[in-house]
Every structure is written in structure tokens, then in C-alpha cells.
């Protein structure tokens, strides 16, 4: 599991984006500030998903954070 979290208040962190292989399939979970979740299945191997997650979050975390705080799914 690879996850991006942002601090929304002092010492309060919320998940923004999570790449995961729980439930026996690779997927990406997107969250909004209200905790609502969008799950997207990804047709990738576990290794491909890990590589994608690392690259995506490293390259785009600032955009995801800004959109999350504005109330938009990343």
C-alpha cells in the first residue's frame, strides 16, 4: 500500500490517495475531505502498481493536495 496523506488541521491527517492490493486486486482509492471514496480497479501487477504509485504520488502530490483541500477528488 502506498498512500498520500495531508494535514488538514494541526495533527489531523487525512488520506487523499491510496494505491492498494487489498481484497486480492490492485486498485486506487481517492478520497475527498468528507471521507467519501472512489475506488478504481487497475489492470496491473503488484510490481507495476507499486512503481506507478511511487511515480504518481512523487510527481503530483502538490496538485492532489490542493484539489483535496478544495473539495475535489484528486
Q: What is the pLDDT of residues 9-18, one digit of tens each?
A: 899 999 999 9
pLDDT of residue 3: 97
Give the mean pLDDT of 46-67.
96
Percent of the chain with pLDDT over 70: 99
pLDDT of residue 5: 97
Contact 38, 72 (CB under 8 A): no
pLDDT of residue 34: 87
Burial of 40 (0-12, 13-18, 19+ CB in 10 A): exposed
Q: Read off the pLDDT band of 74 (50, 70, 90).
A: low
Q: How many CB atoms lie within 10 A of CB 28?
A: 20
Contact 64, 28 (CB under 8 A): no
Amino acid at each position: 500500500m502506498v498512500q498520500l496523506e495531508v494535514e488538514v488541521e494541526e495533527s489531523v491527517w487525512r488520506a487523499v490517495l491510496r494505491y492498494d492490493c487489498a481484497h486480492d486486486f490492485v486498485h486506487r482509492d481517492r478520497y475527498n475531505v468528507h471521507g467519501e471514496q472512489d475506488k478504481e480497479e487497475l489492470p496491473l501487477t503488484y510490481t507495476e502498481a507499486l512503481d506507478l504509485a511511487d511515480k504518481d504520488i512523487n510527481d503530483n502530490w502538490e496538485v492532489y493536495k490542493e484539489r483535496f483541500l478544495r473539495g475535489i477528488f484528486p
